[in-house]
Amino acid sequence: MGWGAGAATGIGSMPGEDAREAARTVTGSLERLPYLPELPARGPGADMIGRTAGMLVELYARVEPSGWRIGDHPGRDTRRARSWLGEDLDALEEYTQGYTGTLKVSAVGPWTLAAALELRGGEAMLSDPGACRDLAGSLAEGLRAHLADVRRRVPGARVVLQLDEPSLRAVLEGRVRSASGYRTHPAVDRVVVEGALREMCALHDGPVVVHCCAPGVPFGLLHRSGVAGVSFDFSLVTEREEEAIGEAVEGGLTLFAGVLPGTDPQSGPLSDPAGSVMGVRTLWRRLGLSPGTLAESVVVTPSCGLAGASPRYARAALDHCVRAATSLVDNPE
pLDDT per residue of the chain (333 residues) written in tens, 0 to 9? 778 899 999 999 999 999 999 999 999 999 999 999 999 999 999 999 999 999 999 999 999 998 999 988 888 999 999 999 999 999 999 999 999 999 999 999 999 999 999 999 899 999 999 999 999 999 999 999 999 999 999 999 999 999 999 999 999 999 999 988 889 999 999 999 999 999 999 999 999 999 999 999 999 999 999 999 999 999 999 988 999 999 999 999 999 999 999 999 887 778 899 999 999 999 999 999 988 899 999 999 999 999 999 999 999 999 999 999 999 998 766
Within 10 angstroms of residue 4's Cβ, the number of other Cβ atoms is: 13
Main-chain dihedrals φ then ψ at residue 312, nearest 5 degrees: -65, -45
Q: What predicted TM-score, i.e. pTM, was given to this entire model?
A: 0.95
pLDDT of amino acid 333: 65
Q: Is 58 left (phi over 0), alpha (psi -120 to 50) or beta?
A: left
- Do residues 146 and 106 make contact, with C-beta atoms less than 8 angstroms apart? no
Domains, the chain, in order of start with CATH, read: 19-116+128-170+188-330 (3.20.20.210)
pLDDT of amino acid 134: 96
- Do residues 53 and 61 make contact, with C-beta atoms less than 8 angstroms apart? yes
Q: Is 209 left (phi over 0), alpha (psi -120 to 50) or beta?
A: beta
pLDDT of amino acid 268: 73
